[in-house]
């Protein structure tokens, strides 16, 4: 999203100034602060924030699981080359992210209650950060 629009000497870029302003706006946003606030608000309301890595979520077929860059011929269209599944790429990404979140919630080992790891009480959003190596509990 924040790549340069300058182009090359053979093919100069278009709307370089507008793209430059957009890049500054995108990069100027406090994404860590947004994540921290979201985590805080969800925990305050008694919910669970489960972080899911977004890599390949819009290239993975939700029907057969085939991962390929060929599945996305355009920015918006998803067409699985293995099984023929067709949908909007954003919908496919959302389906895959939802499934990954559910899978993380389902991986709570037996004997550990929600909100506890090793018997120590934890706030509702604990264990949901990428840096945590523990279980990501949630109310599924």
Q: Please give the Cα distance from 80 to 135 (Å, whole number).
A: 32
Q: Are 33 and 44 in contact (CB under 8 A)?
A: no
pLDDT of 122: 44
Helix (H) or strand (E) holding 120, with range, is strand 120-121
pLDDT at residue 112 in the model:
46
How many other CB atoms are there within 10 angstroms of residue 98's CB atom? 13
Specify the pLDDT at position 91. Answer: 94
* Predicted local distance difference test score (pLDDT) of residue 98: 93
| Mean pLDDT of successive 10-residue stretches along the chain, which has 140 residues | 54 66 79 89 91 90 93 92 94 94 77 44 45 42
Q: What pLDDT was estimated at residue 108?
A: 62
- Name the residue among 136, 110, 103 with its Cα closest to residue 122: 136
C-alpha 117/C-alpha 92 separation (Å) is 33
* Residues in CB range of 64: below 8 A, 6 or more apart: 80, 82, 83, 85
The SS3 call for residue 134 is: coil
């Amino acid at each position: 999203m924040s790549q340069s629009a300058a182009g090359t000497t053979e093919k100069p870029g278009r709307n370089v100034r507008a793209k430059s302003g957009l890049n500054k706006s995108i990069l100027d946003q406090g994404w860590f602060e947004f994540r921290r606030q979201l985590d805080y608000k969800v925990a305050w309301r008694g919910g669970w924030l489960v972080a899911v890595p977004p890599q390949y979520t819009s290239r993975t077929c939700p029907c057969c699981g085939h991962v390929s860059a060929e599945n996305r011929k355009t920015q918006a269209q998803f067409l699985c080359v293995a099984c023929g599944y067709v949908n909007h790429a954003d919908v496919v990404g959302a389906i895959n992210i939802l499934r990954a979140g559910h899978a993380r919630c389902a991986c709570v080992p037996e004997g550990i209650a929600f909100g506890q790891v090793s018997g120590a009480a934890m706030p509702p959003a604990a264990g949901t950060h990428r840096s945590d190596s523990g279980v990501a509990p949630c109310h599924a």
